Chains A and B, each alone.
Chain A
Amino acid sequence: GAVVSQHPSWVICKSGTSVKIECRSLDFQATTMFWYRQFPKQSLMLMATSNEGSKATYEQGVEKDKFLINHASLTLSTLTVTSAHPEDSSFYICSARQGAVETQYFGPGTRLLVL
């Protein structure tokens, strides 16, 4: 149980385009989802926290207008990287948890390459 999927797993796009990444909890209701960014050989950095039906809370230094997060249902959250640039190239990982429990379940990640 507790499976989280992400789609796509890989995306290559041109600079200036927007890219949407989906995060789904497959067998549980995720009241909270988290979006992380991971640069090569580095740890995960929390970008934002989203609760179903409300606006996302962004970490300091993360541009909310560039990284649009929508958590429209208890099983789906989306991250849209708007007007992507090469410096946005990274590995984006989502996680989900049910209620206020401490354990987060992670998706397999989405590797974004902006040319």
Chain B
Amino acid sequence: GNSVTQMEGPVTLSEEAFLTINCTYTATGYPSLFWYVQYPGEGLQLLLKATKADDKGSNKGFEATYRKETTSFHLEKGSVQVSDSAVYFCALSLNNAGNMLTFGGGTRLMVKP
């Protein structure tokens, strides 16, 4: 089956620190990969995505590279801000599975000033 595994949180960083949130996946096929962000009390927002191997998705200073050889899609940001505090979800979808999203467990990021 398809699955997504994320590093467990919470991840606590100081402002301007470097962020990495690991995400690995298992899929029967060639999935598209996503990072969603959920701010407190809100729904999910698409942060970035990549649809094929070696693609790099980027948005708001975040980036993630689709690594087929390691089945990974790690999220990185060079300098986090307090406003980045949220829960981050890695997800995949497969065209041959109706493009249904499979989510990881989520990683809570807390950035302290």
A interface list, Cβ under 8 A from B: 4, 6, 34, 41-44, 46, 49, 93, 95, 97, 100-109, 111
Give the interface residue-count category, chain B. 20 to 34
**What is the CB-to-nearest-CB distance from B46 to chain A, in angstroms, rounded to a whole number?**
7
A109→B42 CA distance, assembly (Å): 6
A6 and B100: CB pair below 8 A? Answer: no
Q: Is the CB of A44 within 8 A of B93?
A: no
Docked complex: B4-47 residues within 8 A CB-CB of A: 32, 34, 36, 41-46
Complex Cα spacing A29 to B108, Å: 32
B49 in contact (CB, < 8 A) = yes
Instruction: Determine the residue in chain A with the shortest Cβ distance to B105.
Output: A43
Q: How far is the CB of B59 from chain A (nearest CB, A)?
A: 13
Q: How far is the CB of A93 from chain B (nearest CB, A)?
A: 5
Determine the distance from Cα of A73 to Cα of B105 in the docked complex, in whole angstroms.
32
C-alpha gap A47/B44 in the complex (Å): 16
Q: A43-B89, A102-B95, A103-B49 in contact; A93/B101 too (CB < 8 A)?
A: no
